[in-house]
Structure 1
Amino acid sequence: MSEYGTGHGAEELTIAVPPPVRGGAFTRTWWGRAWLKALEDTALDGRQVKAGRAHARAGAVGAVSVRPGRITAVVQDRDGTAYRSDVLVRTLTDEEWDRLLDLAVDSAGHIAALLDHEVPPHLVEDAAGVGVELLPGIGDLEPECGCEAWDHCPHTVALCHQMARILDEDPFALLLMRGRGQRAVVDALQDRSAARAGGRTPSPDAPRDAGAADIPAGVSAAEAYALRDILPPLPAAPVPEAGPGEPPSLDTETDPEPGVEPAALEFLAADTAARAHRLLTELLAGRPAPVGGPAADLTVAEDAVRLAAGGPPAWVAARLASRTGRSRAELDAATRAWRWGGVAALAVLEGSWAPDEEALARASARLADAWEDGERPELSRSGARWTAAGARAQLRLGEDGRWWPYRREGDGWSPVGPADRDPAAALSTARGEAEGDGEGEG
Structure 2
Amino acid sequence: MTPPPPPPPPAAQADHRRTFPPSPETSGPATTWWGKAWVAALEALSLDPARLARGHAYADAGHVDTITVTPGRVVAYVRGSRARPYRADLRLRTLADDDWDTFLDAAAEHPAHLEALLAKTMPQALLDPDSPLSDVPLLPATAGDLLPSCTCPDAGRPCKHAAALCYQVARLLDEDPFLVFLLRGRDEREILDALSRRNAARTATETREPPSVPAIGAREALEQARLPGLLPAPLPPPAHPGTPPSYPQTRGAPDPLALDHLATDAAIRAHTLLTTGADPIAGLTPWQDAVRIAAAQPGSGLTAATRSLYTSLTRALGRTPTELAKAVAAWRQGGATALEILDEPWDPPAGPFDRARSALLALGHQDFRPSRNRLTAGRFQLRYGRDGLWYGYESDSGSDDWWPGGAAGNDPVHVLDLLR
TM-score by length of 2: 0.45
Between Structure 1 and Structure 2, whose CA radius of gyration is higher? 1
User: Which protein has greater RCO, CA pairs closer than 8 Å, 6+ apart?
Assistant: 2
TM-score by length of 1: 0.43
